[in-house]
Amino acid sequence: MDSGAIKRQVGRQAAEELVASGMKLGLGTGSTAIEAVRRIGELVREGALRDLKVVPTSFQTEVACRELGISLWSLNDPLIAGRLDLTIDGADEVDPAWRLIKGGGAAMLIEKIVAHASRDYAIIVDSSKIVGRLGEKAPVPVELVPEALLTVSRALEALGGVPALRMAKMKDGPVITDHGNFVLDVRFPAAFDPPAMERELALIPGLLAHGIFTRPVTSLLVGWPDGRIQHKGEPDI
C-alpha cells in the first residue's frame, strides 16, 4: 500500500471512529489530516454527522471545509467559548512518549492554539512518522516575525540548532505563513529534551510558535504499508 492510500485509510478511520454529531471539533492541516476532513465532509453530506462546529487550523483546511459544506466556527465564538471536544491532526514525527514535531505545513501557530483548546487530541500518521526521538528525521519548524530573523537565528544557534529559512517552491523568496510570518527549519544534531526545549524556545523574543508539541495525545492512529491501522489510547512507555 502506497503512502497516499495509507493516509486515506487512517484519515477515514479517524473520522468514522472519533467524530460524533454535535461535537466542537478542531481539524488539522496536512496530507493526512485532510483525508479526515474529506471523510467528515462525506459523512455530513450523508446525514451521518450533524451539528458539527468545526474550527480549522489553516487556510488550507478552511478552504477544504467550505468546499465540502462543513460549517466553520472560530474559537472566539460564544458557542465555542475557547473549548473544543476533539482535535484531529497529523504530525511530522511522533516519539515513543507521543510527543510531536509538527509544522511541515507552516500552520503550527494555530495548530498549537487549537490543540491546547481541545479536551481530546487525536494524531493520525503513517508509520514513517514514528521515531525513536524527536528530531531524528524532521527539523523543528519555528514561526517568527520577519524583523527578528537574525536575532531568532542566533538564539537558536546558541541552543545548538542549525536554522534554515524555509524557501517557497511556487514563488520567489521565503515561505510566508497564514499570518504573514517567516519559518525557520531548525536541525538539532544532538538529542534534546522536548519539554525543556519547548520552554527555551518560548523565551526567544520574536519567535511566535514552534513545532514541538508536548500536550498529551489521547488517541494515536498509525497506518502501516500492509494495511493495518493501530489505534492506541496511551503510549507504550
C-alpha cell at 126: 503513517
232 has pLDDT over 90? no
pLDDT of residue 237: 57
Please give the average per-residue pLDDT across 127-148, as a whole number. 97
Please give the average per-residue pLDDT across 126-134, as a whole number. 96
pTM above 0.75, yes or no: yes
pLDDT of residue 206: 98
The residue annotated as part of the active site, out of 35, 93, 111, 143, is 111
C-alpha cell at 86: 476533539
Do β-strands 219-223 and 229-232 pair in parallel, antiparallel, or remain unpaired? antiparallel
143 DSSP β-pair partners: 183, 209
Let me know: does 182 contact 175? Beta carbons within 8 Å. Answer: yes
pLDDT tens-digit readout, 141-171: 999 999 999 999 999 999 999 999 999 998 8
Whether residue 161 sits in one domain with residue 85: no
Domain that holds residue 202: 140-209
Whether residue 16 sits in one domain with residue 116: yes
237 located within any domain: no
- Catalytic (active site) residue 111: yes
Whether residue 66 sits in one domain with residue 92: yes
Q: Which residue has the cell 537558536?
A: 156
